[in-house]
Each structure stands twice: as C-alpha cells, then as structure tokens.
Amino acid sequence: MKKTVVSLLALAAMTTPAFANEEVTDVRVFDHTKTMIVKTPTTEKVCEQINVPVYGNVQKQGNASEGALLGMIIGGLAGKAATGQDNGAAIGAIMGGLVGADKGAKPKVKQEVIGYREETVCQNITAHTESYVEVYDHSTIRFYINGIRYVVEFQR
C-alpha cells in the first residue's frame, strides 16, 4: 500500500508539468485508529429457593357468645323498629340472641396458609460485558514539496 501511494506520488511529480522542477521528499503513510466500545451480551441462568405458601381449608370453632351478642343488638333494634315499643325490642333481642348464638356456634371453614413448600425458581439474566477494541478509522499521506508540508487524508 505504501509503495503504491509513494510510486503514484512520484509518478505524478515527474509527469505533471507543475511539479517537474519540484522535489518531493519525506513521503510517509499513516494509518489512524479509534477506540470502540464493544458490548457483548451474556445470559446467565440464576436460580434461587423460595418458600411458596400452601393453602388448605381450616375448620375454626364458632363463637356462640359473640354471635349471641351481635344477634341481641340487631334483634333489639329490629323489634323496636317493627313495634315501636320497648316490649318489641326485648322480644327482638331475645330472639336475635338465640339465632345469633346458634349461628355463631357453628364451625367455620376458612382457607388459610397451612404450610410452605420449597420451590426452585430460575430466570435468565442478561448482562453486557464491555471491551475496548482499536479499529481502523482512516489513513493520511504526508509529504514535502520544496519544504512545504502537505497532508492528504484517504480511506484505504
């Protein structure tokens, strides 16, 4: 490459009338590079153990006194509203207490966490590795004609 450029320059200097008496000296060709950052993706499988809740139906004993109290309050209010008298409120409270106690005493089935099981969960994680690479950018040819420096840029 260097020989070709120098030969062409010398040929041009000798054959062109404008350069016929000119002296071309110190001809040099330089390749210029630049630094590029290259990002390379790498995928890694990462696994971990986690505790997963296990659900089941759990039977809970009812609370008769809680049901009775709530039933008495609601029954008393309903009896007073229906009859407009205190006797109606008392009868409503008694009836509500009996019904509430019966309902509250019944066992209740609820779905709750009854334990845990270990499970392996994996996922792919992508990371980028950076590396610096020198790559060709352009070339220049430098020469002197009668002591005057010239630089010409080109792509090879």
Domain boundaries in the chain?
1-60+107-156, 62-105
**Amino acid in the structure at residue 41:** P
Q: For the segment 35-75, what is each residue's pLDDT rounded down to a tens digit?
A: 999 999 999 999 999 999 999 887 777 666 776 667 677 77
Q: How many CB atoms lie within 10 A of CB 74?
A: 16
Mean pLDDT for 19-36 is: 89
Identify the DSSP state of 85: S
Confidence of residue 28 (pLDDT cuts 50, 70, 90): very high
Q: For the segment 86-119, what is each residue's pLDDT rounded down to a tens digit?
A: 676 677 767 776 676 667 666 777 888 889 999 9
